[in-house]
Amino acid sequence: MEENFSDIQTDGERVEQIFSGIPVVPGIAHAEALVHWLEEDEIPYRKIKPEELPGEIARFEAALVATRTELLEIQQRIATSLGASDASIFDAHLLVVEDRTLIDEVLRNLEKDHFNIETTFHRIAEKYCKALQAIDDPYLRERVVDIEDVSRSVLRHLMGKNPRRIPTPDRPHIIIAKNLTPSDTAMINRDKVVGFATEAGSKTSHSAIMARSLDIPAIVGLGQLFQVITSGDDILIDGYTGKLILNPSQETLERYGRIQKQKDEVEERLELIRETSCVTVDGRHIILSANIELANEMDDVRECGAEGIGLYRTEFLYLNRKTPPDEEEQFHDYRHIAEQALPYSVIIRTLDIGGDKSTESLDLPKEQNPFLGCRAIRFCLNHPEIFKPQIKAILRAGVVGNIKLMLPMISGMDELRAAKRLIDECCGELSSAHIEFNPDIELGTMIELPSAVLVAKWLAKEVKFFSIGTNDLIQYTIAVDRVNERIAHLYTPTHPAIIRLIQMTTQVAKDQGIWCGVCGEMAGDVALTPLLLGAGVDELSTSPCLVPRVKKAVQTLAIPECEELVREALECEDHLSILNLSEGLAKSRYGELF
């Protein structure tokens, strides 16, 4: 019997069986199983004559184009429903169908061996997958699923078959699969799928990432499910502990019913505080706003009780298109969001492209290390023809009266002043053209580089606010790529250096009379809320779905106890000591959120 599997005999002949896997999305789901067994298509095999080569090449090119169109449609659907970050998962798929190395190798083998294009392409794709599987890197091995996903689509187009779809019964169900590809996950019926569990996979798999955005309880890495589970079986998945229970007993159902009831009660209490102010026990108001990527997220912002938009990521406007948006398109988008957010403010971050974000609409340089390359403000300063239309659109939308402009990845005074000169140019050009705009729009800067912290005293004299981007601040301070599994454990928000940098930034802001917020992932982590309040932040901006939890945390804390916590944290020498301090205070005040 597998190590991740156990039996429990219950009443009669019914057997409760428990599998243990890797939890990737918390939550509890109880429904019937829908087993998604992916049977591979039989690949037609035949030798071709030399005169058939042009036709085979034409079929291959047509299949690549059709697959690319299909991927772009899925990507657009995901971007609209989940956001640009999830849609960017399909950038890796698109790279496969555009990979000249792979395509050229297929064509060379086609001309050399004279096998039909289905056989030739299948063999080359398999070779690539085997090469990746042999690499001692879990993240790269996980990308095999992406290549298999794309090659399967190409082959189906070559064979004239429709895209494969998971069946969607008209009742709640939990999908059981060997592995779910990103395409599978993108096409599931969100109204009927209450969870999924897979034999393979990891926390870094693209399907796991998308499941987190869908907020569907999910477990991966469960091992041999197909040997014992069939469609229609009664199953329960526990996304908190990673357990899948086949034929749950009445006792098990009652126990999980109590857990679910407790969870629902917490959610109901959070709903009751939606319209309340985000004020600490001792009366300190902390602005609690939301991060968004799309205009259609404004409904979520209103429903969660956020005070406006603390970070509007404008990159989405440039993704999934061949030409960048012009000034008019951006102006209408920004004005619409600003009007929807009234009476609260909207902080629009200028284009933060590069690093892990690429787009066909911009001519981004190929760089050996893009995270240390021409990204964000560096790209914008090098391309005023891209930057100035965005600035003008923001200035024009600023007449609504609640827009603030924020610059990303500022490393020092030279970049800030260069950006301000371009802003002044835009003001002059709009004025000369007699176009209405707001010349007094508030300007702020992201603090996401250690160098920005060290020169914050001078930056603060030129701007009205700071917003600490903790994701990049941690990455650049500790020099760790958080999506690299081999070193991801080093990505620690409570590293003593990070706490010092945050505290230094808020102190400079206070001394210079400007406000300071946090818009990275730390802002939404209620285990770290005491640290951020104690460090002196004025604003927290997080995903809309996390706003009620953060509000509850703030409302049960007092600033003096948080400040004392930070004083103790600054004396700690390792990240676990600081995490334990902050989490200890958090659990003592709002343990139900954990």
- Residues belonging to the active site: 206, 519
Residue 550 one-letter amino acid? V
Count Cβ atoms below 10 Å from residue 130 Cβ, excluding itself.
10
SS (H, E, C) 535-590: HCCCEEEECHHHHHHHHHHHHCCCHHHHHHHHHHHCCCCCHHHHHHHHHHHHHHHH
Task: Report d(CA 20, CA 17) in Å as an integer.
Answer: 10
Q: How far apart are CA 292 and CA 270, in angstroms?
A: 21
Task: Specify the 3-state DSSP secondary structure of 494.
Answer: coil
Q: Which of 338, 290, 280 is nearest to 561 (CA)?
A: 280
* Long-range residue pairs from 294-298, CB within 8 A, at least 24 positions apart, any chain: 294/79, 294/80, 294/83, 294/84, 295/333, 295/336, 295/337, 295/340, 296/80, 297/83, 297/544, 298/337, 298/340, 298/341
CA of residue 526 relative to chain centroid, distance: 18
Q: How far apart are CA 208 and CA 242, in angstroms?
A: 13
Q: Which helix (H) or strand (E) holds 405?
A: strand 403-407
Rounded distance between C-alpha atoms, residue 287 and residue 538, angstroms: 6
- Residue for token pair 């679910």: 260
Residue 311 has phi, psi (to 5 degrees) of -160, 110
| 309-313 and 287-292 strand pairing | parallel
The number of angstroms, rounded, from the C-alpha of 374 to the middle of its chain's C-alpha atoms is 22
What is the gyration radius of the CA atoms in the chain, in angstroms? 26
Phi-psi group of 351: left, alpha or beta (phi > 0 → left; psi -120 to 50 → alpha; rest → beta): beta
DSSP state of 285: B
Q: Tokens in use for 109?
A: 């083998």
The pair of three-digit structure tokens given for residue 567, joined into one six-digit string:
């004083």
Structure tokens at 253: 């159902």
Question: Please, are residues 363 and 405 in contact by the beta-carbon 8 Å criterion?
Answer: no
| Burial (CB count <10 Å: 0-12, 13-18, 19+), residue 230 | exposed
DSSP codes joined into one string, 13-67: T-EEEEEE-EEEE--EEEEEEEEE--PPPPPP--B--GGGHHHHHHHHHHHHHHH
Q: Is residue 330 helix, strand or coil? A: helix
